Copies of this chain bind each other. A is one copy, B any other.
Amino acid sequence: MEHNIRTVREQEFVRITHIIRKTVQNRNIKDGIAVIFVPHTTAGVTINESSDSNVIIDILNSLNKNFPVRGDYFHLEGNSHAHIKASLIGPSVSIIIEKGRLKLGTWQEVYFCEFDGPRNRKIFIKLIEE
């Protein structure tokens, strides 16, 4: 399954848990895993705090401190920092499904991580039954 994501800022984390939940419900899978895959090289997928949005700001600031937007890079497009962040955050996560539900922790939200926006993006979701 493919789903479109429209990012609106240069760097931001977009909530996607509801999209994955809906996919699990529609397919009526009881037990298995959901693989979330980001088909881009300047974006990633992670799971983090759902409640205080300052956490996400702190994560982005901290990444930018260590992997600055403007740096001594060879790649001429000016987005090397975004490629680095994408590989550190990673292109895929696997989430467990049990009794028809995504088995996430209380404070967990799945985020699409935009590091070189705004852009039209995609996520791929594959459900595997146990």
Contact = CB atoms under 8 A, between A and B. Distances in A.
Interface residues of A, number: 61
Kindly report how many copies of this chain are found in the complex they form together: 3
Contacts of A73: 54, 58, 61-62
Given A33-B126, A96-B37, A124-B103, A87 B59 contact: yes
Contacts of A31: 126
Contacts of A33: 35, 126, 128
Contact of A74 (B57, B91, B96, B122): B57
Interface of A: 31-33, 35, 37-41, 46-50, 52, 54-55, 57-59, 61-63, 66-67, 71-77, 80-81, 83-84, 86-96, 98, 103-108, 122, 124, 126-130
